[in-house]
A and B are shown apart, each in its own frame.
Chain A
Amino acid sequence: DQQVKQNSPSLSVQEGRISILNCDYTNSMFDYFLWYKKYPAEGPTFLISISSIKDKNEDGRFTVFLNKSAKHLSLHIVPSQPGDSAVYFCAASSTFSGGGADGLTFGKGTHLIIQP
């Protein structure tokens, strides 16, 4: 049961261009969304998040867009740099479920490759 789906296992983008990573979710109870970046042999690193009360959040080169009606979010990286090459995980949580330290539900990840 894939509640968080990242349909592109990999994405190749030229350096300097925009990278767009997509994520879809099925659980309408999700109200908080995060993107994590993972290099080989390291744990995931938090990148950016967005609450369901917003439709956009920007942090430097990274912008996350949320379309609640479509249950879709995307991460835009512009301009893309070689150091952005990594696996990007979309994650979601529901603050409604008990209010405790709820676990995140991760997508399978998208391997972003930035080409020089």
Chain B
Amino acid sequence: EPEVTQTPSHQVTQMGQEVILRCVPISNHLYFYWYRQILGQKVEFLVSFYNNEISEKSEIFDDQFSVERPDGSNFTLKIRSTKLEDSAMYFCASSEVVTGELFFGEGSRLTVL
């Protein structure tokens, strides 16, 4: 069964460092998303991406964040200068159609020290 894959599964970084989280969405999907879940809190929408551009983003997704689809398969989330409060589980998801079911990856745990 096709699945969304994410790397790394866990990354530890120092505050102020840049981090890139990688995702390989399901191949025939057109919509890509990043969500995050801070420990003990709800899953929060960060950004959605369609046709090589951001279609929606939340208030959380400020100038420190960027997304890119550098080739036909990868979808990346970059955090330019990490803060302690960026520590969370970051989930990538993809879907075939808008408002269709989202397929989530297993998540990348980011720990900022």
Contact = CB atoms under 8 A, between A and B. Distances in A.
Interface of A: 32, 34, 36, 41-46, 49, 89, 91, 93, 95, 97-109
Nearest to A46: B101
Given A42-B106, A42-B107, 19 more contacts: A41-B106, A43-B106, A46-B102, A89-B42, A97-B56, A99-B98, A100-B48, A101-B32, A101-B49, A101-B98, A102-B55, A102-B98, A102-B99, A103-B48, A104-B35, A104-B45, A106-B35, A106-B42, A106-B44
Contacts of A109: 42-43
Contacts, number: 76
B104 A45 contact: yes
A32 B44 CA distance: 17
Interface residues of B, number: 30
Nearest to B49: A101
Interface in B87-113: 91, 93, 95, 98-99, 101-107
